[in-house]
Structure 1
Amino acid sequence: MSVKTVWAMLPALASAGLLAFGLLAAQPPRPADGPVPVVAAPAGISAQFIPDAQPTPDMTYLDARITGRASGEARGYEHQWPAFHASARFSGHSVAVALDDAANRYRVTLDDAPIVLTRPGAGMLRIEGLSDGPHQIRIEKLSERSEIGRFEGFFLPAAGTALPPPAAIPLIEFVGDSDTVGYGNTAPGRDCTSEQQYLATDTSQAYGPMTARALGADYRVIAASGIGLVRNLGGGSDPAMAQLYDRALPSQPDAPSAPERAADVVVIGLGSNDFAERPEPDQSRRELQQQRDRFADALLQFMRDRRADSPSARIVLLAFGEYGDDLIAAHRQALDEFVADGDAADLLVLPELARTACHWHPSLNDHQVIASKLIRLLKAMPHAP
């Protein structure tokens, strides 16, 4: 999509709620386009969500591998960023998942069988009738909502046996905007109602998770629709990524962060919203250069901060080249100064994408194109500092 197309789409994007986190957004409406099942399980799996149910004293809490920025600790994690997920292992014929979230969609995977939860609310998902032997269970948030969700854990009935959680694997962190979120990525076309866009968003099928899975890695997604590094789509006073990145919960600056490990790779895909809007007709080239310099300076500092967080991580700048020469030049400027520090990073400039999903966002095929380029880059030897 050309920058001209982005400018033409701004009113529709704004009305679709693409302005940062929408930190004061109301509770989402119930579906307007037909019923959405609270639980959708494949044949052969007995799964029932029981509203307001709580773990009983005879149940065993399962230790889990938690990935994704969140607030809390064992037996309770609040989350607001996309793609929060947790995995655990057990032996037994049944298992339960405790949640409190009336806003988001989740995929619960029991071994290879997926169960989709849509706006479940508070209660427990009970899965029963499992075969003998060990099992693995995973829950992942698919949607993007401003409301805070709560994962309260996996639980086993008395007859089950807890097993150690899955071992940690390499971690790739993806920082970005709606393209990183996977906004409306499974939709068959660009025209989407807000409910269709909600149902079509699946962060697990965005380029970041695609890349990580292909490389045998886990992923952490720090992204929000409409967000920029220093300036969000449409301007306004909402904080941008430079201010929000460190927050466990974007809408709660003082929420304590759950422990998280350093990333092995950090992919930074920001800038599209900083450069998306048409300059004022009387804006001089000098003013445009100043805007580019401000972004480059902020990106350089953001890279330095990520280096402090993850001292041995490979850092990749992902530039959506269709947003213009100024965006690419600002990325090159930040990269040159980062290298002058004695550090190293990669710059991957993406070609124009088809953007046939909701509101001119990348389709599943576009996400695969991005993932293929990232996979090729990350399989190559990194630059030496």
Structure 2
Amino acid sequence: MLPASALQPYGRYVVNQEQNVELISSAVHFGFSFEGEECQIYATIPNPEGHNYLQYELDGVYQKRIKISGNSQEPIRITAPGAGTHTIWIYKATEAHTGPIGIQKIAAKNIKSIKKPTQPLIEFIGNSITCGAAADPSEVPCGTGVYHDQHNAYMAYGPRVARSLGANFILSSVSGIGIYRNWNSNGPTMPQVYEKLDFQDQNSKLWQFATFTPQVVSIALGTNDFSKGDGKKERLPFDSASFVSTYIRFVQVVKTKYPRAQIALLSSPMVNGSNRTLLQNCLTAVKQSTDTSYPADKPVALYFFRPMQARGCSGHPNVEDHAILAAELEPFFKQLLL
């Protein structure tokens, strides 16, 4: 039996009063090894009426998502093909706003917690695209179920890039969020929630940034600032001055958390036409201002996505689109990790 407190998660998490590990951020993950053909994971969620998703790798090969129902009393059973020693990595498939997934304990023969190998770390800050939201309708078709039924954080571009480059990753991402305004509201935006443990404005608990030290911090925000919203709520035209000034201040906050990290600003594969050019110009202005303010630091890196006609739910990239985005980004991040 392995108590949750012995796990070594990677990403945003907290050990609660019951000594359970609450998995919070998209793709937060932990590993363990065991002997034999089965292990049992005791997991809970706060909402007895709700559900959430984990996903896992077995012996280095991705398997599938696992649905956790709020009223379930049974452990999750994972079977391995045959005896011997096996390695499992468990990932949270959904984002922080979906609610935490609590891990109580894991039962198996000769079970041992695994620590992530020491590798360069990339933190990916972003919106629903970075979450891998609306990307995987393989079990629940688009337009049915609830929003997080199509989340697949493991297959999002960030984790894919990191795996291909032999890097570690953490995702700091919230669907619908922007720099100075969100998809259909004026806030709370990423600069307002980034320091909160679970990216929720009302939460007094702060994330302990000293837990991980990224070599690169990738920021991909702007899609929602440019959004027209739902067409019902009043929406002012995009304000480039507000966007740039707020973005500059946010980069300064990130630099206070990770003074040595290389900052990378990504555009959006979903912003096209004249807005695409405007977003690129805004990001260039953020870079120029930041580089001037921090002359001793590595210059801010910029990456502008090729336009994409996304094939996932509600205009988002699907799992295959994320593979395309990751392949596009690999050379860029490879250079940053040198």
TM-score greater than 0.5 by the shorter chain: yes
1:116 lines up with 2:65 in the alignment: yes
How far has the Cα of 1:243 moved from its partner? Answer: 0.5
Report percent identity of matched pairs. Answer: 24
Q: Mark the CA change 1:90 to 1:311 in structure 2 (over 3 Å): closer, same or farther.
A: farther
**CA distance in 1: counterparts of 2:240 and 2:94, whole angstroms:** 32
Q: Mark the CA change 1:128 to 1:317 in structure 2 (over 3 Å): closer, same or farther.
A: closer
1:214 lines up with 2:164 in the alignment: yes
- Give the aligned partner of residue 8 of structure 2: 65
- Give the aligned partner of residue 374 of structure 1: 329
- Give the aligned partner of residue 18 of structure 1: none
Q: Which has the larger Rg?
A: 1
**CA distance in 2: counterparts of 1:71 and 1:312, whole angstroms:** 25
Note the residue ranges of structure 1 that are not aligned, 5 or more in a row.
1-58, 279-286
- The 8 Å contact of residues 267 and 316 in structure 1, kept in 2 or not, is answered as yes
**CA distance in 2: counterparts of 1:273 and 1:113, whole angstroms:** 31
- Give the aligned partner of residue 225 of structure 1: 175
1:273 lines up with 2:224 in the alignment: yes
Matched residue type, 2:33? R
- Give the aligned partner of residue 283 of structure 2: 331
Matched residue type, 2:40? A
Partner deviation per Cα, 1:324-369 (whole Å, 9 max, x = no partner): 3332221111100111121311111112101121111113343223
Q: Mark the CA change 1:376 to 1:103 in structure 2 (over 3 Å): closer, same or farther.
A: same
Note the residue ranges of structure 2 that are not aligned, 5 or more in a row.
230-235
**CA distance in 1: counterparts of 2:2 and 2:180, whole angstroms:** 46
- Give the aligned partner of residue 100 of structure 1: 44
**CA distance in 2: counterparts of 1:319 and 1:69, whole angstroms:** 25
Matched residue type, 2:8? R
How far has the Cα of 1:79 moved from its partner? Answer: 3.8
How far has the Cα of 1:196 moved from its partner? Answer: 7.5
Higher RCO (CA 8 Å, separation ≥ 6 residues): 1
**CA distance in 1: counterparts of 2:333 and 2:80, whole angstroms:** 42
1:359 lines up with 2:314 in the alignment: yes
Q: Mark the CA change 1:113 to 1:84 in structure 2 (over 3 Å): closer, same or farther.
A: closer
How far has the Cα of 1:116 moved from its partner? Answer: 3.3
Q: Mark the CA change 1:364 to 1:309 in structure 2 (over 3 Å): closer, same or farther.
A: same
- The 8 Å contact of residues 216 and 337 in structure 2, kept in 1 or not, is answered as no
Partner deviation per Cα, 1:109-142 (whole Å, 9 max, x = no partner): 3324735321333542244677544322221121
**CA distance in 1: counterparts of 2:280 and 2:205, whole angstroms:** 35
**CA distance in 2: counterparts of 1:162 and 1:182, whole angstroms:** 30
**CA distance in 2: counterparts of 1:103 and 1:60, whole angstroms:** 24
Please report the RMSD computed on the Cα atoms of aligned residues, expressed in angstroms: 3.0
Matched residue type, 1:70? Y
- The 8 Å contact of residues 42 and 76 in structure 2, kept in 1 or not, is answered as yes
Partner deviation per Cα, 1:199-238 (whole Å, 9 max, x = no partner): 33211111111111111112211111111111011224x4
Q: Mark the CA change 1:93 to 1:352 in structure 2 (over 3 Å): closer, same or farther.
A: closer
**CA distance in 2: counterparts of 1:224 and 1:103, whole angstroms:** 18
1:247 lines up with 2:199 in the alignment: no
- The 8 Å contact of residues 82 and 221 in structure 1, kept in 2 or not, is answered as yes
The partner residue of 2:124 within 174, 194, 197 is: 174
